[in-house]
Amino acid sequence: MKDVTITVIDREGESHELIAPTDMNMNLMEVCKSYELPVEGTCGGMAMCASCQVYVLSEEHIGERNDNEEAMLSEAFYVKDNSRLGCQINMVEDLNGLTVELAPESE
């Protein structure tokens, strides 16, 4: 299995290139945390907190929101049409080249 490269733009506008394995059952929230980017992941990835919200800037790589994700995003703040929960995006080879931006932290 191959590693994938993902670009994450942090809340200061700085861009980070992350290399993530696709065979470790990791999601985007966890990959960000492993690079010590400021993503809380308070609920541990259960789509229950939205602290991992990102805006997807390169839509071609990514599937649809799942039901739990949709329900959580309908209660979160700063949500846009391209919002996703990082913890619901699993690292698969198709994601190579994905670019996302971290959403603001809610108060």
Partner 1 sequence: MIKTDILIIGAGPVGLFTVFEAGLMKLRCHLIDAIAQPGGQLSEIYPKKPIYDIPGFPSVLAGDLVNNLVEQAAPFNPGYTLGERADTITKLDDGNFVVTTSKGTQHQAPVVMIAGGLGSFEPRRPLIENLGDFEGKGVEYIVREPQSFLGNDIVISGGGDSALDWAIYFANEGSNPVTLVHRSDRFRAHKDSVQKAHELQEQGKLQLITHGEVTALKGDDQLSEIEITVNKNEVKTIKTDYWLPLFGLSPKLGPIGNWGLEIEKNAIVVDTFDYQTNIPGIFAIGDVNTYAGKLKLILCGFHEATLAVQTAYKIIHPEKKFTMKYTTVQGIQGFEEKETPVLI
Ligand X SMILES: Cc1cc2nc3c(=O)[nH]c(=O)nc-3n(C[C@H](O)[C@H](O)[C@H](O)COP(=O)(O)OP(=O)(O)OC[C@H]3O[C@@H](n4cnc5c(N)ncnc54)[C@H](O)[C@@H]3O)c2cc1C
Binding site for partner 1 (CB under 8 A): 40, 42-44, 46, 48-49, 51, 67-68, 70-72, 74-78, 106-107
Q: How far is the CB of 70 from ligand FES (least distance, A)?
A: 12
Residue 75 binds which entry of ligand FES, ligand X, partner 1, none, with Cβ cut-offs from 5 to 8 Å by kind?
Answer: partner 1
- Map residue 44 onto helix, strand or coil: coil
Among 22, 26, 41, 58, binds ligand FES (CB under 6 A): 41
66: partner contacted, choices partner 1, ligand X, ligand FES, none (Cβ within 5-8 A by kind): none
Three-state DSSP at 32 gives: helix
What are the helix and strand counts (H, E) for the chain? Answer: 2, 5
- Pairing label, strands 99-102, 15-21: unpaired
Q: Which does 21 bind (CB under 5 to 8 A by kind): partner 1, ligand X, ligand FES, none?
A: none
List strand residue ranges (DSSP E) for the chain, in order: 3-9, 15-21, 53-56, 83-85, 99-102
